[in-house]
Amino acid sequence: MEINKLCDMVRETSFSIHKYHRNGHLEKIYENALVNRLRKLGLKVEQQHALTVYDEDGSILGEYYADLFIEDCLIVELKACKHTLDEHIAQLLGYLKSARVHDGLLINFGAPKLYVKKYVMG
Digit-by-digit pLDDT tens for the chain (122 residues) are: 899 999 999 999 999 999 999 999 999 999 999 999 999 999 999 999 999 999 999 999 999 999 999 999 999 999 999 999 999 999 999 999 988 999 999 999 999 999 999 999 97
Domains and CATH numbers, the chain: 3-117 (3.40.1350)
The DSSP H or E segment spanning 78 is strand 74-79
pTM of the model: 0.94
Residue 111: helix, strand or coil by DSSP? Answer: coil
